[in-house]
Amino acid sequence: MQIQKQNQSRKSCRIYKPMIKAVIFDMDGIIIDSEPCYIEHLIQIFAHFGITVTKDELISIAGGTRKHYNAAINPRIENIVSREEFDAYTNQYYLENPVPYCQIVFPHLVEILEWIKSKGYRIALASSSYQYEIAQVLDETQLHEYFEFILSGDMFKEAKPNPDIYLTCIDKLGLSADECIAIEDSEYGISAAKGANLTCIAREDKRFGYNQTQADYLIQDLMDIKDILEKLI
Q: Are the C-beta atoms of 192 and 163 separated by less than 8 Å?
A: yes
Determine the pLDDT at residue 9: 38
Question: Is 8 a residue whose pLDDT tops 60?
Answer: no
b (16+ CB within 10 A) / e for 113-138: beebeeeeebbbbbbbbeeebbeebb
Residue 28 CA to its chain's centroid (Å): 4
**127-163 per-position pLDDT tens digit:** 999 999 999 999 999 999 999 999 999 999 998 999 9
Mean pLDDT, all residues of the chain: 92
Task: Give the distance, in angstroms, between the CA of residue 138 and the centroid of all CA atoms in the same chain.
Answer: 14
pLDDT at 38 over 70: yes
pLDDT in tens, 89-100: 999 999 999 999
Strand order in the sheet with 217-219: 3-5, 217-219, 199-203, 180-184, 22-25, 122-127, 150-152
- Give pLDDT tens digits for 55-69: 999 988 888 878 888
